[in-house]
């Protein structure tokens, strides 16, 4: 396959609390927003991508019916947790380049705030690991907390370093009118917030919101015909990680592999990257992921994020300038779409002026799905503005 | 202090022996007689060489905490850990019958068995030196 696919539409649903909407409606409104952003219509869509957050057992088909998509010739329901929209945007690029489709729509949406929390997660019946985890009260906080605890143990990562990730997010969120937590917080406020699951405190944890978003991917010919900045997917790679029979460690993620492959495909170096969207389910997620992405050595992520190094206009690597999952939006327990949308805003030069990175022509967006270091899928995407 | 209710493991033919042994106070581990590797969670096919020649072995029940957390906001707070067994593999478990503030990575632990709700007992761990 040669050439590039382009992201021409990106939309983050403005809702953060959707008592008055259905999950399907959030997907549909997001799709409409992303297609309008691109200057395309539902009738142009011939490929649809949605993970398990598409409501129903046959959620992809169900949402296709809901949105009246009648020209589909490609469907993809890859589930890797919160990273799924990035993974599927990468799949969309390859499907376009191999000639299977021309206009690909990716949606994500959920109501983890006002929906029924018991019905958020799929029935795990038959999952082979289930009998060895469910009796122990495993949940998302526990898994991420254990990754954080081990990182602290091996590398001496400090409480203050973790807090800097949240501080940076809050500095960005103050400029985002849709952010749930627009108030700037201090290192001390984060470090002294209530303990949830040692060592994770309340302000280490991402938001729980309703909402979603969508992305539209097309080939070069269509991208040229649209009156939008041309944002090409210069590199995209996914990887997964599990417990490997009880062998694999908790201090690295599949991002190590997805990043190496995405950077190799893009043929760029870390010094070329002007902005990074980094999945931030918890503060430690960002520290571990920045190491895995290769922005610093393994174990040095704590030092890397300190002293405002992730704050736009202050530090060397602006990260999550929308406020991220920590302060802006983490809809349906999945942060993938907001990550990709803010990366597109930055590389287009359409981020909020207070956080827009100057000359931002090359960015990375990274998703971490599932249970960070023990069972999850990662995707790294490198985007470049060419017009 | 009342104990957290332990959900019963969902049983299936592949792993019934593990929980039958746990119910009798024995910790089993699966090992492959083809490649020699031990692994957890147990399964019929070796995840390393994919041989069907896997067998149950009695584990020493000793290990150390690889990582842990304490779920402080639960109605009855509890400690979740990954314990590195002396036999090599790590397993997700709970650390029980101890002061949670004394837990640390590397702490030696030994297996104990705790009843589940209307199911078999399940293996958990307690720091070495705690009274039985």
Q: Indicate if the pLDDT at residue B64 is higher than 60.
A: yes
Query: Which chain A residues touch B91 with a CB distance below 8 Å?
Result: 132, 246
Pick A245's closest partner by Cβ from B40, B70, B74.
B40
Burial of A264 (0-12, 13-18, 19+ CB in 10 A): exposed
Contact A252, A147 (CB under 8 A): no
Q: Let me know if residue B40 belongs to a domain.
A: yes
Domain end among A232, A265, A284: A232
Instruction: Provide ipTM, 2 decimals.
Output: 0.97
pLDDT of A122: 75
| Section B110-126 average pLDDT | 97
Contact A54, A233 (CB under 8 A): no
State whether A177 and A46 are in the same domain: no
Domain end among A180, A198, A232: A232
State whether A199 and A216 are in the same domain: no
pLDDT of A1: 64
Distance of alpha carbon A367 from alpha carbon A380, whole angstroms: 7
pLDDT of A220: 97
State whether A223 and A244 are in the same domain: no
Helices (H), ranges, chain A: 23-38, 59-67, 84-97, 140-155, 159-173, 187-191, 220-225, 255-266, 283-293, 301-305, 336-348
What does pLDDT average to over chain A? 96
State whether A21 and A146 are in the same domain: no
- Å from A172 to nearest chain B CA? 29
**Range(s) of the domain holding residue B116:** 16-127
Q: Let me know if residue A261 belongs to a domain.
A: yes
Query: Which chain A residues touch B11 with a CB distance below 8 Å?
Result: 131
Q: Indicate if the pLDDT at residue B3 is higher than 70.
A: yes
Query: Which chain A residues touch B47 with a CB distance below 8 Å?
Result: 244-245
Query: Which chain A residues touch B125 with a CB distance below 8 Å?
Result: none
Please count the structural domains in chain A: 2
pLDDT of A118: 78
Identify the CATH number of the domain in which residue A36 sits.
Answer: 3.40.47.10
**Range(s) of the domain holding residue A191:** 136-207+234-385
State whether A186 and A99 are in the same domain: no
Pick A132's closest partner by Cβ from B7, B70, B91.
B91
pLDDT of B131: 60
Residues in chain A with pLDDT values less than 70? 1
Q: Let me know if residue B9 belongs to a domain.
A: no
Q: Indicate if the pLDDT at residue B132 is higher than 60.
A: no
Identify the CATH number of the domain in which residue B71 sits.
Answer: 2.40.50.840
pLDDT of A119: 79
Q: Let me know if residue B132 belongs to a domain.
A: no
| Section B26-45 average pLDDT | 98
Q: Let me know if residue B50 belongs to a domain.
A: yes
Token pair 């080939």 in the structure block, residue: A219
* Residue A11: closest CA among A78, A85, A62, A76: A85
State whether A241 and A276 are in the same domain: yes
Q: Let me know if residue B7 belongs to a domain.
A: no
Please count the structural domains in chain B: 1
State whether A194 and A89 are in the same domain: no
Which chain B residue's Cα is nearest to A251? B67
Q: Which one of B45, B69, B99 makes the best mutation probe of the A interface by having the most chain A beta carbons within 10 Å?
A: B69
Q: Indicate if the pLDDT at residue B130 is higher than 80.
A: no
State whether A193 and A223 are in the same domain: no
DSSP state of A42: G
CB contact under 8 A, B105 and A150: yes
CB contact under 8 A, B116 and A135: yes
Stronger pLDDT, B80 or A123, i.e. the higher one? B80
Decide if A202 touches B, using CB distance below 8 A. Answer: no
């Amino acid at each position: 396959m040669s050439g590039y696919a382009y992201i021409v539409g990106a939309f983050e649903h403005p809702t953060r609390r959707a008592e008055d909407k259905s999950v399907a409606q959030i997907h549909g409104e997001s799709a409409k927003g992303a297609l309008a952003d691109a200057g395309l219509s539902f009738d142009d869509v011939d490929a649809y991508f949605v993970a398990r957050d598409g409501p129903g057992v046959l959620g992809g088909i169900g949402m296709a019916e809901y949105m009246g998509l009648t020209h589909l010739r490609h469907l993809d329901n890859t589930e890797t947790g919160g990273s799924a929209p990035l993974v599927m945007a990468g799949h969309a690029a390859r499907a376009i380049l191999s000639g299977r489709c021309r206009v690909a729509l990716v949606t994500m949406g959920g109501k983890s705030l006002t929906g029924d929390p018991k019905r958020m997660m799929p029935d795990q019946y038959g999952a082979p690991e289930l009998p060895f985890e469910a009796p122990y009260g495993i949940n998302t906080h526990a898994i991420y907390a254990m990754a954080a605890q081990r990182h602290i143990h091996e590398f001496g990562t400090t409480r203050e370093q973790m807090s800097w990730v949240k501080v940076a997010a809050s500095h960005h969120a103050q400029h985002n009118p849709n952010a749930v937590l627009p108030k700037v917080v201090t290192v001390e406020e984060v470090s002294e917030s209530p303990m949830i699951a040692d060592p994770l405190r309340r302000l280490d944890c991402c938001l729980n919101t309703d909402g979603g978003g969508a992305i539209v991917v097309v080939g070069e010919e269509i991208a040229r015909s649209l009156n939008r900045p041309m944002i090409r997917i210069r590199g995209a790679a996914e990887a997964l990680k599990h417990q490997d029979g009880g062998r694999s460690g908790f201090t690295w993620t599949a991002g190590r592999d997805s990043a190496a492959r995405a950077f190799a495909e893009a043929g760029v170096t870390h010094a070329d990257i002007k902005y990074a969207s980094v999945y931030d389910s918890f503060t430690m997620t960002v520290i571990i992921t920045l190491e895995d992405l290769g922005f610093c050595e393994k174990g040095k992520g704590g030092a890397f994020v300190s002293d405002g190094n992730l704050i736009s206009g202050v530090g060397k690597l602006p990260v999550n300038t929308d406020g991220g999952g920590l302060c802006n939006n983490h809809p349906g327990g999945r942060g993938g779409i907001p990550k990709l949308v803010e990366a597109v805003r930055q590389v287009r030069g359409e981020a909020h002026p207070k956080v827009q990175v100057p000359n931002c022509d090359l960015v990375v967006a990274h998703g971490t799905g599932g249970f960070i270091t023990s069972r999850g899928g990662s995707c790294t995407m490198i985007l470049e503005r060419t017009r | 202090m009342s104990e957290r209710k332990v959900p019963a493991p969902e049983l299936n033919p592949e792993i019934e022996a593990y929980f039958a042994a746990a119910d009798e106070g024995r910790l089993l581990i699966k090992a492959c007689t083809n490649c020699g590797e031990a692994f957890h969670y147990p399964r019929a096919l070796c995840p390393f060489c994919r041989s069907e020649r896997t067998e149950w072995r009695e584990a020493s029940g000793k290990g150390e905490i690889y990582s842990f957390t304490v779920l402080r906001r639960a109605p009855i707070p509890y400690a979740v850990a990954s314990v590195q067994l002396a036999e090599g593999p790590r397993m997700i478990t709970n650390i029980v019958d101890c002061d949670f503030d004394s837990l640390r990575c590397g702490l030696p632990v030994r297996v104990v068995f705790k009843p589940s709700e209307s199911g078999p007992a399940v293996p958990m761990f307690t720091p070495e030196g705690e009274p039985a």
